[in-house]
C-alpha cells in the first residue's frame, strides 16, 4: 500500500469528525484504513498498529467484530453529523452505535511508557478490541450533547466533503484546510477576476 493512499486526513479538530472523514463516503471503512486511523491519531502505537494490521489473518473473528462495530459507528456518526449540519432531528438508530461502544468500554486510564514518552492509555476491563473505538465514541457523544451549539461545519469547497469543528476565535472558518481547499478557492477567484479584467479591457 502506498503512503499517499494510507495517509489519514486529520483536519477535523475532533477525533470523531476525523473518524468520519477517514471513511470514504461511497465505500465502507476497510480494516487497513481503520488501523491507519488508530495509528495516526495515537490511539495505538505504531508497533501495536503493525500487529493489528495482520490480525484478520490470525484472528478473523476478532477483527471482523471490531470492523463491524467501527463501520456501524462511522455510519451512525456520519448520519448524526449530516443531520446536525441541516439542523435536523437525530434518529435513535444513529445514536445506538455510539452508546453501544460507550457501554462496553468500562475501564481505567493508566500511564504507559511509549517511545520515550509517557502516554495516558485506556485499559479496558473487558476483553475484545471494542475499547479501541472508545475515544471516538466519546468524542462523538460530546458533539451530540452540544446539540445546536456544536460548531460542526462542512468544508466550503463543494468538491471536498470533509467535515471540521470550527475552533477558530472568529468562528468563521470555512475550509477544512486553508492550504488545500482555501488556497484552491483563492486561486480560482483570482483566475476569475483576472479573466474578467482581461475581458473588460
Ligand atoms: Zn476541504
Please write the tens of the pLDDT for every residue from 14-71.
Answer: 999 999 999 877 778 999 999 999 999 999 999 999 999 999 999 999 999 999 999 9
Distance (angstroms) between ligand 1 centre and the Cα of 148 equals 22
pLDDT in tens, 100-126: 999 876 778 889 898 888 988 877 776
Please choose, from the candidates 147, 165, 198, the residue with its C-alpha nearest in 3D space to the C-alpha of residue 21: 165
Distance (angstroms) between ligand 1 centre and the Cα of 82 equals 16
Percent of all residues in the chain with a pLDDT value above 70, rounded to a whole number: 91
- Considering the entire predicted model, what is its pTM? 0.81
Distance (angstroms) between ligand 1 centre and the Cα of 68 equals 28
Burial tier of 136 (Cβ tally within 10 Å: 0-12, 13-18, 19+): buried
C-alpha cell, 100: 453501544
Distance (angstroms) between ligand 1 centre and the Cα of 155 equals 5
> Is 70 exceeded by the pLDDT of residue 3?
no
Distance (angstroms) between ligand 1 centre and the Cα of 157 equals 5
**Strands 152-154, 117-124: pairing kind:** unpaired
C-alpha cell, 154: 462542512
pLDDT at 184: 73
> Is 70 exceeded by the pLDDT of residue 6?
no
CA 66, 52, 17, 9: dihedral to nearest 10 degrees? -150
Average confidence (pLDDT) over 146-153:
92
Distance (angstroms) between ligand 1 centre and the Cα of 181 equals 5
Distance (angstroms) between ligand 1 centre and the Cα of 165 equals 12
Predicted confidence band at 4 (pLDDT cuts at 50, 70, 90)?
very low
Distance (angstroms) between ligand 1 centre and the Cα of 71 equals 23
pLDDT at 1: 36
Distance (angstroms) between ligand 1 centre and the Cα of 142 equals 23
**Strands 163-165, 152-154: pairing kind:** antiparallel
Distance (angstroms) between ligand 1 centre and the Cα of 197 equals 28
Contact 64, 55 (CB under 8 A): no
Amino acid at each position: 500500500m502506498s503512503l499517499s493512499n494510507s495517509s489519514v486526513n486529520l483536519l477535523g479538530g475532533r477525533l470523531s469528525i476525523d473518524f468520519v472523514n477517514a471513511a470514504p463516503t461511497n465505500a465502507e471503512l476497510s480494516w487497513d484504513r481503520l488501523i491507519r486511523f488508530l495509528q495516526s491519531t495515537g490511539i495505538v502505537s505504531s508497533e501495536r498498529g503493525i500487529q493489528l494490521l495482520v490480525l484478520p489473518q490470525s484472528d478473523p473473528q476478532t477483527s471482523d467484530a471490531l470492523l463491524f462495530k467501527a463501520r456501524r459507528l462511522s455510519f451512525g456518526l456520519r448520519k448524526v453529523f449530516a443531520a446536525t449540519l441541516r439542523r435536523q432531528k437525530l434518529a435513535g438508530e444513529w445514536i445506538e452505535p455510539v452508546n453501544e461502544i460507550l457501554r462496553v468500554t468500562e475501564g481505567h486510564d493508566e500511564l504507559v511508557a511509549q517511545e520515550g514518552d509517557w502516554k495516558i492509555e485506556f485499559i479496558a476491563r473487558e476483553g475484545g478490541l471494542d475499547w479501541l473505538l472508545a475515544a471516538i465514541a466519546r468524542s462523538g457523544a460530546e458533539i451530540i450533547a452540544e446539540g445546536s451549539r456544536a460548531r460542526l461545519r462542512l468544508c466550503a469547497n463543494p468538491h471536498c466533503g470533509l467535515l471540521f469543528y470550527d475552533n477558530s476565535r472568529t468562528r468563521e472558518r470555512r475550509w477544512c484546510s486553508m492550504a488545500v481547499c482555501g488556497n484552491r478557492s483563492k486561486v480560482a477567484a483570482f483566475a476569475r477576476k483576472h479573466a474578467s479584467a482581461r475581458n473588460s479591457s
